[in-house]
Structures are given as structure tokens and as C-alpha cells.
């Protein structure tokens, strides 16, 4: 072999060897840039999900990850996870509220863990309302324009309220659950409270509205709104294998009422529209939280 061709062969061998090494590192999670990219899906207006998502965006960013938050309706979000376009969703209400979505997509998803144990769906009224129970709505449709103010039609809360609660109390001929968005529902609620007008809304716990507005739940003696769910982190199929560190951290993730309520309050009120500032202040006030999750 001539020196010229021998040199070429050596160069090719080195090039192929380096390429193979690079591919092997990428395939084995060897720290390539793509390994640090994570997409989190979020539903706008769901306060607990927004709080958890922005918190974990910060925690993961501080660990060197590139985190993208995509705001989607519930249905497209689950579909996106099933296709692998979205990595994580931190606001899955299971087993009840999101049952339809889990039945449709669950075989392509992974449950990472429940970070909030008991989250009920509710029907709420202002404290000045004469209503005490869902049974009290019977015969009063005209006093409320036949409307219970709801949120997004794609939400499990809408399905449970419209399909389960109304029939259970014989209200389907008097009331309908309106659909709009969670922020629009809260705006209508505050407007009615300011004017001392009648209003009934669909809501859930935990939610910052219970600490900022004079409201209470209607009793549900028939249990039509279902048993309280857990709030879960769920992921696309294969996420735990691809991101074992992140999956392990999220398995440890828990928040109590005080922690979640204070973060929601900062995000939805003091720093509305500025989630990074809300997370900054919350982490300063909860100095050991980050270390306990990702340390």
C-alpha cells in the first residue's frame, strides 16, 4: 500500500471510530445535548399544574436541562405525550377525572408518581349564597339563568359535572354546564361576588380561589362528583429509561396544602404573568425544597 493510500485509510479509520464513539455516547445517554432537552405540557388556568410545572422548569434548568413548556388543551396534551412530542405532564388527575384520556392513551404513557394525594372536584358558591347542597339547586334553574359556570370542555371536570352530577340530582332539564376557560370562569365568579349576585361554578381543590375569595363548596350527598383523585406526574412511554435521574427526582416530588397554596398565590396574584419571580420568592421561602427533590 502506498503512503498516500495508507494515510487515507488511517484517516478514514479514525473518522469512523470517532463517529461510532459519538453515536454510542448519544445512544447510551452519554451526556449529549439532546439528552438535556425536556418538554413539559401544561393546561392554561389550572393553577396547581402551572405552579408545579414552573417549579420543575426551574429545578431542572438549575440542573442544566433545557426545558420547554407547551401550553395545550387536555386532549391534545395527552395525544402529544402518546406520540412522544411531549415528555411530561404534572397535572394528571387519576383515576377518575382523566379516566377517558387514560383509557385512550394510557398504554403509551407512564405514571411517574402522585405528588398530591387527595384532590376533589367541587361545585362552589359564594358564602352569601342560600344554597347548601347540590340538592338545593332543584327547581331553581331560572334564578341562575340555567347555568353552572364551567371551564374548558376538554376537562374531566366538565364531563363529570355535565354527565354525572346533573343527572344524579335531576338537574339536566334545568341547568347546563357552560364552557369557556378557567380564567374566564374565575373572572365571572369575582364579578358576581363583587355585585353580590347568584352564581354557581365548577371548581376543584387545591385552588388558590378558596383562600382569596369568600366561597364554599356545595355538599354532594350522592357523591356524584366522584371520589378525590391523586394529582400525578405522567410521562411519555420510555421517559424513565431515557431520563432516569429526572424520573427519580419526580418520584420523590410531594407538596402539601401550605406549600402548594403559597406557590399558587404568588403565581396567580402577587406575580401574575411572571412565574419566574414567583418561583424565585417561593424557593427563598422554602430553602430546603430544591435540595430535597434533586439533591
CA distances from 292 to 66, 138, 187 (A): 21, 49, 37
Give buried/exposed letters for 246-284 (b at 16+ CB in 10 A, else e): bbebbeebebeeebbbbbbbbbbeebeeebeebbeebbe
Q: Which of 190, 161, 186, 155 is nearest to 176 (CA)?
A: 161
Strand bridging mode 37-42 / 88-94: parallel
pLDDT of 5 over the 60 cut: no
Cell of 228: 378525590
CB-count exposure of residue 92 (10 Å: 0-12, 13-18, 19+): buried
Task: Check: CB of residue 275 under 8 Å from CB of residue 54.
Answer: yes
* pTM, rounded to two decimals: 0.76
Task: Check: CB of residue 175 under 8 Å from CB of residue 123.
Answer: no
What confidence score (pLDDT) does residue 11 get? 43
What confidence score (pLDDT) does residue 18 get? 38
State the Cα–Cα distance between residues 89 and 81, nearest whole angstrom. 8
pLDDT band at 274 (very low <50, low <70, confident <90, very high): very high
Q: Give residue-wise pLDDT tens across range 126-169.
A: 999 999 999 999 999 999 999 999 999 999 999 999 999 999 99
pLDDT of 30 over the 90 cut: no
What confidence score (pLDDT) does residue 13 get? 41
Cell of 134: 347540590
Cα Rg, the chain, nearest whole Å: 24
Among 3.30.40.10, 3.40.250.10, 3.30.70.580, 3.40.190.10, name the CATH number for the domain at 33-119+228-294.
3.40.190.10
Q: Give residue-wise pLDDT tens across range 199-231.
A: 999 999 989 899 889 999 999 999 999 999 999
Q: What is the CATH number of domain 121-217?
A: 3.40.190.100
What confidence score (pLDDT) does residue 202 get? 98
Domains 33-119+228-294 and 121-217 share a fold: yes
Pinpoint the alpha helices (H) of the chain: 3-27, 47-62, 74-83, 99-105, 156-159, 166-168, 182-195, 209-212, 239-242, 244-252, 257-265, 275-285, 289-294
Instruction: Provide the mean pLDDT of the chain.
Output: 89
Cell of 287: 430553602
Go through the chain and tell me how many residues it has: 295
Which residues are bridge partners to 41 per DSSP? 70, 89
Domain ranges of the chain: 33-119+228-294, 121-217
pLDDT of 32 over the 50 cut: no
Task: Check: CB of residue 161 under 8 Å from CB of residue 123.
Answer: yes
Residues 6+ apart with CB under 8 A from 223: none
Q: CA-based angle 26:31:37, to the nearest 5? A: 90
Amino acid at each position: 500500500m502506498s503512503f498516500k493510500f495508507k494515510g487515507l485509510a488511517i484517516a478514514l479509520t479514525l473518522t469512523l471510530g470517532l463517529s461510532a464513539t459519538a453515536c454510542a455516547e448519544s445512544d447510551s445517554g452519554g451526556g449529549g445535548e439532546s439528552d438535556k432537552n425536556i418538554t413539559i405540557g401544561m393546561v392554561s388556568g389550572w393553577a396547581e399544574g402551572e405552579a408545579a410545572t414552573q417549579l420543575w422548569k426551574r429545578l431542572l434548568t438549575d440542573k442544566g436541562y433545557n426545558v420547554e413548556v407547551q401550553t395545550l388543551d387536555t386532549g391534545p396534551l395527552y395525544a402529544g405525550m402518546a406520540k412522544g412530542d411531549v415528555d411530561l405532564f404534572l397535572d394528571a388527575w387519576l383515576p377518575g377525572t382523566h379516566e377517558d384520556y387514560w383509557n385512550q392513551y394510557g398504554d403509551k404513557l407512564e405514571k411517574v408518581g402522585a405528588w398530591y394525594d387527595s384532590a376533589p372536584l367541587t361545585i362552589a358558591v359564594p358564602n352569601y349564597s342560600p344554597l347548601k347542597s347540590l340538592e338545593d339547586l332543584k327547581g331553581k334553574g331560572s334564578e341562575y339563568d340555567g347555568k353552572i359556570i364551567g371551564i374548558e370542555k376538554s376537562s374531566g371536570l366538565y364531563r363529570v359535572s355535565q354527565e354525572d352530577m346533573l343527572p344524579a340530582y335531576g338537574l339536566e332539564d334545568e341547568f347546563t354546564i357552560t364552557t369557556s376557560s378557567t380564567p374566564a370562569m374565575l373572572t365571572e365568579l369575582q364579578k358576581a361576588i363583587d355585585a353580590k349576585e347568584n352564581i354557581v361554578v365548577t371548581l376543584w381543590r387545591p385552588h388558590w380561589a378558596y383562600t382569596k375569595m369568600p366561597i364554599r363548596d356545595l355538599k354532594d350527598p350522592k357523591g356524584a362528583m366522584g371520589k378525590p383523585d391523586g394529582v400525578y406526574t405522567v410521562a411519555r412511554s420510555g421517559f424513565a429509561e431515557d431520563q432516569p435521574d429526572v424520573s427519580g427526582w419526580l418520584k420523590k416530588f410531594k407538596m402539601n396544602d401550605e406549600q402548594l397554596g403559597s406557590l399558587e398565590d404568588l403565581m396567580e396574584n402577587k406575580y401574575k404573568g411572571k412565574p419566574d419571580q414567583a418561583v424565585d420568592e417561593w424557593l427563598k421561602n422554602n430553602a430546603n425544597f430544591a435540595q430535597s427533590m434533586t439533591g
